[in-house]
């Protein structure tokens, strides 16, 4: 049995590579988009902040998906994924960026979250005011970020610390601490999804909502990692390290989670549709009117049937173009899913008798801001790519990953 | 700018290059799955021993166990006959608790029937090779558990002579089952699951049955095994088809692992009853089913590996891995309990809140706390390596989980029903003597089938275990 892993040239980013320019280009682009968005913000801050929340959650969900990927690799002692894990570690350790990006949400929270002003006579909201109030909301948000910063920082630091080649024993620590990490991650992600998404419609509730958000996060994270790998390979990096075998496994995971997302979405919808209790169907009623019905029906196809049949075949999972198309599509429809969760709430609260909420629409400004935040995120990740080892070269299971083949 | 640390790295990372780069052995190398370096022949000998023993020499323990199980199974059939003769009234079911032990036992057994297919299909797709030592009897357990499960909806319909009404059979009365009823979906879901699991188990058995056919002495046994071996000769072409069929069945079974218990959860969750109607039910039921299934595998395998001399095939690593799965799924179940409780409060709906407070502090609080301590608290002991690698602790906790998962279904069914929307009709349900007897009888049926399986079929997937031995790897011993 071979016990030594060969460090090859393709594990480095060549000094002339485009990837060295990527951080600055993406950063400039991101700043430009955000500045453009600010002009729209001045015109209608209320609407713009809904777009801000949307863009923030979209990009954050990628980082959280990557974080789960990292934790679960350690938890399951995976060997195959070592060569792709570092990209996920980069994506997860962008968490400081999200702390900064969250500040405007914290500032404008009373404007975004309708439970911040309880109308007299709203017994339901009065009953849960001990949970849905601004102070506790801020404390909880701080706790979520504290957990994610802690997990992101420690798992990143420990993995990078192995690169010098003398900290292999740390793998055992990574294994041990991945177990408590996954519990903290699950609880923080669940309550974050309750606070930042579900409470936008404060009377509505669903026990599965955290799982629903998690399924989307993981899909987005996987799609991003795969796209990064494809992008690096297009620049001649990692060409010998990451093989079709790794791509096929990433594809299998994404395929599985496409089905899992649909399963969770169906469970939530079907059970509420079947029982037909007004306080529960409210969420779907809202999204089957005023133009949102087209989005709702389309999502059955865009988020399930199309990706399902597209990625079913083994050949597509082992085809770079096919996989790239799938990943772009998955990210887009994941963003659509979040848009569909967040945006129908805009202008839907405190309406006068007989008044209608605004018709479904996509604002250019929302998309510009999404592009901006995504660019900042990519700038952050590619900053790591240009400066750090893009493969965990000191990981004792690197050799297993390099020689990995689907049986 | 090239990263500095790469420049400083030696060309090789590994224990062959430099003294200071010794890799931790247990991290780099995957543990051997089978202990004691057996040859292929040793595996065959160990596994086939029981099936090749003549009946007159069968171990006394097996005989006693079989006698007891068979008696209980016969009692079970007697009870069913009495139930059909006398009617559902022999049970304690009374308004408003019209559903009690019958549905509880059904869900309990279906849940147990999840581990087998999960081990054979999902762990196969995840390349978890350790599954080869446990998949065969886990699958057998699945099939027998589903048989026990199917008995209960079959008999609790009351008029069993019209049981065929549950199937959408064209008829002159133009009578159809209600396609919107989850009970009908159950018929399809469990029926499909049973069929595919049986096929999967049987396909896996074929090469091993052929081994037995070639080894047994008696002519009758040769013919019997010969029929089921389907003319297996072990040719390259046979193996090629076999592997392809196995992969396809694994892919088909994987969604079934999720769908069966999801549909079972719909039986409850589509209703408007607080305590039943909540969106997390489908994944939560699936996690609970895997949890209880693994506990039952553990309960069966710990004595079996001792009595059948399989300790080198089913090693501590297998037991530890199963305990880890029990810990994970037990924690997912705990998460679901917590979500139900939190959302019951968060919903601001007084009926939802009442249902859960009634569960934890009402007349059935005792059953709720049995459930929580067995399902959520007891598996947490597996956080400690010392405890999850202890045979005694593993066995005791597996029993706790079995008990806890039965009570989970009891809590869901009975506590939600016994105090419904109309306080004047509230009623404390108590079983009569027949309910426990039915449950014990179903265990009799289960163990009768299981003991027959242990006696006459290879309890370990020999061909698959051989494939994970080091000598099966063609690259073994070659240092490149």
Q: What are phi and psi of A5, to 5 degrees?
A: -100, 130
Listed range (A165-174, B148-157, B258-267) with the worst mean pLDDT: A165-174
- Whether the pLDDT of residue B480 is over 50: the answer is no
Which residue out of B5, B10, B13, B287 would a mutagenesis test of the A interface target, given it has the greatest number of A Cβ atoms within 10 Å? B13
The shortest CB-CB distance from A205 to any of B269, B343, B480 is to B343
The shortest CB-CB distance from B24 to any of A168, A179, A389 is to A168
Listed range (B15-19, B91-95, B162-166, B386-390) with the worst mean pLDDT: B15-19
Scanning every residue of chain B, which has its alpha carbon at the shortest distance from the alpha carbon of A176? Answer: B383
Asked if B269's CB is within 8 angstroms of A165's CB, the reply is no
Which residue out of B248, B261, B280, B351 would a mutagenesis test of the A interface target, given it has the greatest number of A Cβ atoms within 10 Å? B280
The shortest CB-CB distance from B279 to any of A124, A271, A386 is to A271
B28 touches chain A (CB under 8 A): yes
Distance (Å) of CA B404 to CA B275, B276, B407, B408, B443? 18, 18, 5, 6, 16
Q: What is the mean pLDDT of residues B451-478?
A: 80
Write down the pLDDT at residue B20.
46
Window B:379-398, CB contacts with A under 8 Å: 383
Q: Which residues of A touch B16 (CB under 8 A)?
A: 3-4
- Whether the pLDDT of residue B3 is over 60: the answer is no
The shortest CB-CB distance from A11 to any of B6, B272, B277 is to B6
Query: Higher model confidence: residue B164 or residue B342?
Result: B342
pLDDT band at B313 (very low <50, low <70, confident <90, very high): confident
User: Which residues make Cβ contacts (< 8 Å) with residue B324, sequence separation at least 6?
Assistant: B382, B388
Q: Which residues of B touch A271 (CB under 8 A)?
A: 266, 269-270, 277-279, 281
How far apart, in whole angstroms, are the C-alpha atoms of residue B363 and residue B241? 58
A279 touches chain B (CB under 8 A): yes
ipTM: 0.91
How far apart, in whole angstroms, are the C-alpha atoms of residue A273 and residue A281? 7
A44 touches chain B (CB under 8 A): no
A249 touches chain B (CB under 8 A): no
Asked if B272's CB is within 8 angstroms of A165's CB, the reply is no
Write down the pLDDT at residue A120.
72
Q: Which residues of A touch B6 (CB under 8 A)?
A: 7, 11-12, 389, 393
How far apart, in whole angstroms, are the C-alpha atoms of residue B293 and residue B297? 6
Scanning every residue of chain A, which has its alpha carbon at the shortest distance from the alpha carbon of B284? Answer: A208
Scanning every residue of chain B, which has its alpha carbon at the shortest distance from the alpha carbon of A269? Answer: B279
- Which among B342, B60, B398, B471 has a CA at the least distance from the CA of A191? B342
pLDDT in tens, A274-320: 999 988 898 998 899 888 999 999 999 999 999 999 988 888 888 88
Q: What is the mean pLDDT of residues A122-139?
A: 88
Which residue out of B282, B354, B416 would a mutagenesis test of the A interface target, given it has the greatest number of A Cβ atoms within 10 Å? B282
Asked if A398's CB is within 8 angstroms of B127's CB, the reply is no
The shortest CB-CB distance from A394 to any of B13, B28, B127 is to B13
- Whether the pLDDT of residue A241 is over 50: the answer is yes
Q: Which residues of A touch B252 (CB under 8 A)?
A: none
User: Which residues make Cβ contacts (< 8 Å) with residue A11, sequence separation at least 6?
Assistant: A237, A238, A241, A389, A390, A391, A393, B6
Write down the pLDDT at residue B13.
53
* Portion of chain B with pLDDT greater than 70, in percent: 93
| CB-CB contact of B269 with B281 (8 Å) | yes
Q: What is the mean pLDDT of residues A34-41?
A: 87
- Whether the pLDDT of residue B376 is over 70: the answer is yes
According to DSSP, the β-strands at B12-13 and A5-6 are antiparallel
Sign of the four-CA dihedral B332, B335, B341, B344: negative
Residue A166 token pair: 């003398």
B95 vs chain A: nearest CA distance in angstroms?
22
The shortest CB-CB distance from B283 to any of A194, A209, A211 is to A211
Which residue out of A169, A261, A271 would a mutagenesis test of the B interface target, given it has the greatest number of B Cβ atoms within 10 Å? A271
The shortest CB-CB distance from A275 to any of B27, B270, B343 is to B270
Distance (Å) of CA A288 to CA A200, A284, A379? 17, 6, 38
Scanning every residue of chain A, which has its alpha carbon at the shortest distance from the alpha carbon of B20? Answer: A166
How far apart, in whole angstroms, are the C-alpha atoms of residue A283 and residue B377? 35
User: Which residues make Cβ contacts (< 8 Å) with residue A255, sequence separation at least 6?
Assistant: A308, A311, A312, A317
Give B129's DSSP letter: G
| CB-CB contact of B192 with B256 (8 Å) | yes
Residue B96: asked if its preceding bond is cis (omega within 30°), the reply is yes
Enumerate the domain spans of chain A: 18-118+127-347+360-402
B178 touches chain A (CB under 8 A): no
B480 vs chain A: nearest CA distance in angstroms?
6
B117 vs chain A: nearest CA distance in angstroms?
17
pLDDT in tens, B176-200: 888 888 888 888 889 899 999 999 9
Write down the pLDDT at residue A365.
86
Q: Which of A17-21, B172-176, B324-328, B350-354 has the highest mean pLDDT?
A: B324-328
A331 vs chain B: nearest CA distance in angstroms?
24
Write down the pLDDT at residue B250.
87
| Average pLDDT of the residues of chain A | 89
Q: Which residues of A touch B8 (CB under 8 A)?
A: 164
Q: Which residues of A touch B317 (CB under 8 A)?
A: none
How far apart, in whole angstroms, are the C-alpha atoms of residue B178 and residue B184? 7
pLDDT in tens, A165-203: 777 788 888 888 999 999 999 999 999 999 999 999 988
- Whether the pLDDT of residue A143 is over 90: the answer is yes
| CB-CB contact of A218 with A111 (8 Å) | no
Residue A191 sits at the vertex; the CA angle it makes with A223 and B383, to the nearest 5 degrees, is 85
Residue B1 token pair: 């700018």
Window B:288-347, CB contacts with A under 8 Å: 331, 335-336, 339-340, 343, 345-347
Which residue out of A208, A272, A394 would a mutagenesis test of the B interface target, given it has the greatest number of B Cβ atoms within 10 Å? A208
Window A:19-38, CB contacts with B under 8 Å: 20
Which residue out of A21, A79, A137, A165 would a mutagenesis test of the B interface target, given it has the greatest number of B Cβ atoms within 10 Å? A165
A18 touches chain B (CB under 8 A): no
Window A:183-212, CB contacts with B under 8 Å: 183, 186-187, 190, 194, 203, 205-211
Asked if A123's CB is within 8 angstroms of B339's CB, the reply is no
A187 vs chain B: nearest CA distance in angstroms?
8
Q: What is the mean pLDDT of residues B68-81?
A: 95
Q: Which residues of B touch A131 (CB under 8 A)?
A: 346
Write down the pLDDT at residue B12.
52
Distance (Å) of CA B417 to CA A309, B195, B323? 43, 33, 34
How far apart, in whole angstroms, are the C-alpha atoms of residue B274 and residue B292? 24
Residue B279 in 3-state DSSP? coil
- Which among A350, A337, A315, A156 has a CA at the least distance from the CA of A244? A315
How far apart, in whole angstroms, are the C-alpha atoms of residue A138 and residue A173? 32
- Whether the pLDDT of residue B6 is over 60: the answer is no
pLDDT in tens, A315-329: 888 888 999 999 999
What is the full DSSP assignment across B6-64? HHHS-SEESTTT-GGGPPPHHHHSPPPSSSS---HHHHHHHHHHHHHS-GGG--HHHHH
- Whether the pLDDT of residue A1 is over 60: the answer is no
pLDDT in tens, B50-59: 888 877 788 8
| Average pLDDT of the residues of chain B | 86
Scanning every residue of chain A, which has its alpha carbon at the shortest distance from the alpha carbon of B341? Answer: A207
A1 touches chain B (CB under 8 A): yes
């Amino acid at each position: 049995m071979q016990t030594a892993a060969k460090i090859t040239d393709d594990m480095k980013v060549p000094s002339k590579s485009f990837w060295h320019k990527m951080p600055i280009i993406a950063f400039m682009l991101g700043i430009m988009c955000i500045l453009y968005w600010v002009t729209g913000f001045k015109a209608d801050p209320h609407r713009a902040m809904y777009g801000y929340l949307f863009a923030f959650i979209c990009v954050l969900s990628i980082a959280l998906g990557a974080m789960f990927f990292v934790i679960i690799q350690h938890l399951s002692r995976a060997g195959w994924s070592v060569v792709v894990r570092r990209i996920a570690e980069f994506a997860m350790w962008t968490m400081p960026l999200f702390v900064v990006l969250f500040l405007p949400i914290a500032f404008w929270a009373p404007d975004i979250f309708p439970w911040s002003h309880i109308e007299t006579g709203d017994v339901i909201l009065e009953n849960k005011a001990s949970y849905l109030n601004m102070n506790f909301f801020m404390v909880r948000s701080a706790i979520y970020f504290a957990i994610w910063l802690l997990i992101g920082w420690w798992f990143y630091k420990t993995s990078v610390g192995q690169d010098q080649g003398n900290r292999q024993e740390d793998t055992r620590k990574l294994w041990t601490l991945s177990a408590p990490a996954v519990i903290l991650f699950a609880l923080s992600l669940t309550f974050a999804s309750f606070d930042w998404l579900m409470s936008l419609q404060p009377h509505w509730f669903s026990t599965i909502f955290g799982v629903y958000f998690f399924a989307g996060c993981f899909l987005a994270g996987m799609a991003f990692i795969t796209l990064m790998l494809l992008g690096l390979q297009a620049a001649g990096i990692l060409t010998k390290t990451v093989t079709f075998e790794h791509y096929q496994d990433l594809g299998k995971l994404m395929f599985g989670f496409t089905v899992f997302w649909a399963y969770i979405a169906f469970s939530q919808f079907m059970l509420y549709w079947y029982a037909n209790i007004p306080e529960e169907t409210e969420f779907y009623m809202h999204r089957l009117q005023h133009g949102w019905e087209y989005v709702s029906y389309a999502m059955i196809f865009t988020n399930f049937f199309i990706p399902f049949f597209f990625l079913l075949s083994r050949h597509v999972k082992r085809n770079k173009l096919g996989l790239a198309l799938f990943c772009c599509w998955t990210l887009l429809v994941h963003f659509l899913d979040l848009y569909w969760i967040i945006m129908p709430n805009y202008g839907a609260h405190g309406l006068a008798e007989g008044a209608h909420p605004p018709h479904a629409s996509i604002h250019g400004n929302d998309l510009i801001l999404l592009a901006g935040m995504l660019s900042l995120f990519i700038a952050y990740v590619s900053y790591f790519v240009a400066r750090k080892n893009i493969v965990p070269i000191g990981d004792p299971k690197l050799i297993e990953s390099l020689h990995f083949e689907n049986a | 700018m090239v990263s500095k640390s790469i420049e400083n790295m030696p060309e090789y990372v590994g224990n062959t290059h430099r003294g200071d780069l010794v890799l931790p052995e247990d991290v780099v190398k995957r543990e051997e799955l089978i202990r004691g370096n057996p040859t292929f022949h040793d595996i065959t000998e160990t596994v086939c021993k029981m099936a090749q023993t003549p009946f007159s020499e069968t171990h006394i323990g097996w005989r006693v166990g079989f006698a007891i199980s068979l008696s209980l199974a016969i009692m079970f059939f007697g009870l069913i006959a009495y139930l059909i003769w006398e009617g559902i009234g022999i049970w304690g079911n009374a308004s408003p608790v019209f559903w009690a032990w019958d549905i509880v036992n059904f869900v309990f057994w279906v849940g147990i029937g999840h581990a087998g297919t999960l081990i054979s299909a999902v762990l196969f797709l995840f390349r978890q090779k350790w599954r080869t030592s446990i998949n065969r009897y886990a699958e057998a357990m699945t099939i027998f558990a589903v048989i026990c499960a199917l008995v209960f909806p079959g008999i609790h319909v009351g008029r069993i002579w019209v049981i065929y009404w549950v199937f959408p059979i064209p008829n002159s009365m133009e009578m159809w089952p209600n396609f919107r009823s989850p009970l009908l979906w159950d018929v399809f879901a469990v029926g499909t699951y049973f069929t595919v699991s049986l096929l999967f188990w049987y396909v896996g058995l074929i090469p091993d049955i052929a081994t037995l056919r070639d080894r047994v002495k008696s002519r009758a046994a040769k013919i019997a095994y010969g029929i089921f071996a389907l003319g297996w000769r072990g040719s390259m072409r046979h193996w090629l088809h076999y592997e392809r069929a196995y992969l396809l069945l694994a892919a088909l079974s994987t969604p079934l692992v999720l769908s069966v218990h999801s549909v079972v959860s719909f039986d409850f969750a589509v209703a408007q009853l607080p305590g039943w109607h909540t969106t997390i039910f489908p994944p939560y039921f699936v996690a609970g089913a895997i949890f209880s299934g693994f506990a039952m595998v553990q309960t069966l395998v710990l004595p079996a590996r001792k009595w059948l001399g399989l300790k080198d095939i089913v090693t501590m690593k297998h037991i530890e891995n199963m305990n880890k799965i029990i810990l994970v799924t037990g924690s997912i179940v705990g998460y679901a309990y917590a979500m139900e409780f939190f959302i019951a409060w968060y919903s601001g709906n007084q009926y939802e809140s009442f249902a859960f407070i009634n569960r934890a502090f009402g007349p059935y609080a005792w059953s709720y706390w049995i459930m929580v301590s067995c399902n959520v608290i007891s598996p947490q002991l597996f956080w400690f390596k010392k405890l999850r690698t202890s045979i005694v602790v593993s066995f005791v906790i597996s029993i706790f989980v079995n008990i806890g998962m039965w009570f989970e279904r009891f809590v869901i069914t009975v506590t939600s029903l016994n105090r419904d929307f109309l306080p004047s009709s509230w009623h404390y349900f108590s079983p009569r003597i027949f309910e426990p007897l039915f449950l014990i009888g179903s265990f009799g049926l289960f163990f009768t089938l299981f003991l027959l399986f242990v006696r006459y079929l290879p309890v370990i997937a020999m061909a698959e275990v051989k494939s994970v031995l080091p000598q099966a790897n063609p690259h073994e011993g070659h240092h490149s």
